Amino acid sequence: MASSGGSAGREPYDEEAAAAPRRPLELDGRGDASSDHHRSGFIPRYQVGSSKVDTGDRYFDEWQKKLSNTDDVRKSKSGSRYFTVSGVDLSPDNLAVATVYFVQGVLGLARLAVNFYLKDDLHLDPAETAVISGFSSLPWLIKPLYGFISDSIPLFGYRRRSYLILSGFLGALSWSLMATVVDSKYGAAFSILLGSLSVAFSDVVVDSMVVERARGESQSTSGSLQSLCWGSSAFGGIVSAYFSGSLVDTYGVRFVFGVTAFLPLLTSAVAVLVNEHRLSSGERAMSHSGSGFVETSKQHVRQLWSSVKQPNIFLPTMFIFLWQATPKSDSAMFFFITNKLGFTPEFLGRVKLVTSIASLLGVGLYNYFLKAVPLRKIFLVTTIIGSALGMTQVLLVTGLNRQFGISDEWFSIGDSLIITVLSQASFMPVLVLAAKLCPPGMEATLFATLMSISNAGSVSGGLVGAGLTQLFGVTKDSFKNLPLLIVICNLSALLPLPLLGLLPEESGNADQGETKHN
């Protein structure tokens, strides 16, 4: 079924994400937004060769040098002894990163269970469901904080490993609560919030590792690494897709939450594969010392502000926010297809399987055909086509598809497949863009800032959609004005197009990932 907007990303509590494309058969939660993000889902990168920040502080320069020397994450070398996939070495370190993304995707196992739990067990309306979804996405709006903590405060001597381990344990706790004691909308919102926080923090850590590899590489090389990461997330979504519905049908939502509680522990397990040198006791003492930490904190904030306020970073980021902030009708459509059309959890699991495969196809489409295409052209074409296809939801709501001999089930599957491929293909360049914008020494913090702004746009769009749903009187039993809601949401996706000039005028043959821009 077509999406009600033109953006994509890992959903926040798939998360991630974000950021995942906007699909009417699912609630936007993470982005997952991913999301990022990842999640799903909700966002992309280019190299700015001249964007250097002068710290003007010898102490800070020496401290940054120490940090970079201790972070022993290495780029792949030619002639490596490891197998390669799309030009990326499958070293234990890269496998750890891919596994974390895989976990983000496989956490989609609980997404349908959450939707049905909010609708059937807690008896919430579409607008309430959309608000809880937006609330659970809040951890994705403060991702710079996690990046700052990871970059500046080593835990047990590590800046990456330890935080991945803790993130996994936090995620296991959140879904354990959903499986056992949660029995109200407030408890559900809090538990989902914890799960979202778990994925958001781990997402920041692995994103920073990916950015370190992407910096200085060509657009094609960095795009290949991004494709591997998001391909892993999409593969995780495929693994969990069908079972997400059949398990709800057979065993109920509590059982699905219990199974999901074990999945974040994979993140904790693979953290030991991260190739990171442990800081010595002296280096740890320096990082936690009063004067050293305060000085480093100040310099991080200054450098972050100096980077973000540059026009070649600020303007593209503004466009991405507006692109994500258009309203969505996803929650209302979920209630319609379950309450009105009678779609079962098992069937929705099949649709989720199709959209997960479509997401992977979208990654492949970008990786093999669109990496050299200018960003403006990608956004223009995919947004227009996506908005037009989104209007086909009106056919489903009014039943016109059956007059053409197409059943509701097949119409939903075909529509979802096409729009998801387009959404994921349009979202990949956003990720590549964001990674390339990050200067040395601020990878986690600046990338997290860009992703947070994108996620803020996605959350804003969800809340605006909830307001429109309430305004038009669309409830769990009344869908009279749903066609009008769908039309408005899809037309609004075209509003950011006049601002395409904010994006860089990128050359497809840019050497070393450099971007030509006005």
Residue ranges of the domains in the chain?
Answer: 84-274, 298-504
As a whole number of angstroms, the distance between CA 121 and CA 132 comes to 15
Structure tokens at 342: 């009678």
Rounded to a whole number of angstroms, the distance between the first and last alpha carbons of the chain is 38
Whether the per-residue pLDDT at 5 is higher than 50: the answer is no
For the domain with range 298-504, which CATH number is right: 3.40.50.620, 3.40.50.300, 2.40.30.10, 1.20.1250.20?
1.20.1250.20
**Element of type H or E holding 89:** strand 88-89
Structure tokens at 505: 């005028």
Structure tokens at 351: 């649709």
The CATH number assigned to the domain with range 84-274 reads: 1.20.1250.20
∠ CA 61-62-64, nearest 5°, is 65
- Residues 245, 247, 251, 254, CA torsion sign: negative
Whether the per-residue pLDDT at 44 is higher than 60: the answer is no
Whether the per-residue pLDDT at 78 is higher than 70: the answer is no
Evaluate whether 84-274 and 298-504 have a shared fold: yes
Residue 215's CB is within 10 A of a number of other CB atoms, namely: 19
As a whole number of angstroms, the distance between CA 467 and CA 421 comes to 28
Nearest to 210 by CA among 371, 94, 107: 94
CB hemisphere CA count around 166 (13 angstroms):
15
Q: How far is CA 91 from CA 76, 161, 201, 232, in A?
A: 8, 16, 23, 15
As a whole number of angstroms, the distance between CA 344 and CA 80 comes to 49
Structure tokens at 91: 């070293």
- Tens digit of pLDDT for each residue in 239-286? 888 788 889 989 999 999 999 999 999 999 998 887 777 766 655 555
Average pLDDT (393-411) is: 91
Whether the per-residue pLDDT at 179 is higher than 70: the answer is yes
∠ CA 108-425-509, nearest 5°, is 140
∠ CA 124-128-130, nearest 5°, is 120
Whether the per-residue pLDDT at 355 is higher than 90: the answer is no
Average pLDDT (444-473) is: 85
What does the mean pLDDT of the chain come to? 75
**How many helices (H) and strands (E) would you count in the chain?**
21, 2
Q: How far is CA 452 from CA 117, 122, 444, in A?
A: 28, 30, 12
Q: Using an 8 Å Cβ cutoff, are 8 and 26 in contact?
A: no
- Residues 139, 241, 185, 266, CA torsion sign: negative
- Top-confidence residue, 517 or 145: 145
pTM: 0.71
As a whole number of angstroms, the distance between CA 440 and CA 484 comes to 48
List of residues 6+ apart from 212 with CB closer than 8 A:
71, 73, 75, 443
Backbone phi and psi for residue 182, each to the nearest 5 degrees, phi listed first: -70, 130
Average pLDDT (180-193) is: 92
User: Which residues lie across from 436 on neighbouring strands?
Assistant: none
Whether the per-residue pLDDT at 29 is higher than 70: the answer is no
- Top-confidence residue, 431 or 121: 121
pLDDT for position 213: 63
- Top-confidence residue, 229 or 402: 402
Backbone phi and psi for residue 352, each to the nearest 5 degrees, phi listed first: -65, -35
Q: Using an 8 Å Cβ cutoff, are 436 and 513 in contact?
A: yes
∠ CA 242-457-222, nearest 5°, is 70
As a whole number of angstroms, the distance between CA 411 and CA 29 comes to 24
- What is the three-class DSSP state of 319? helix
Average pLDDT (404-420) is: 88
- 293: DSSP letter: H
As a whole number of angstroms, the distance between CA 197 and CA 454 comes to 16
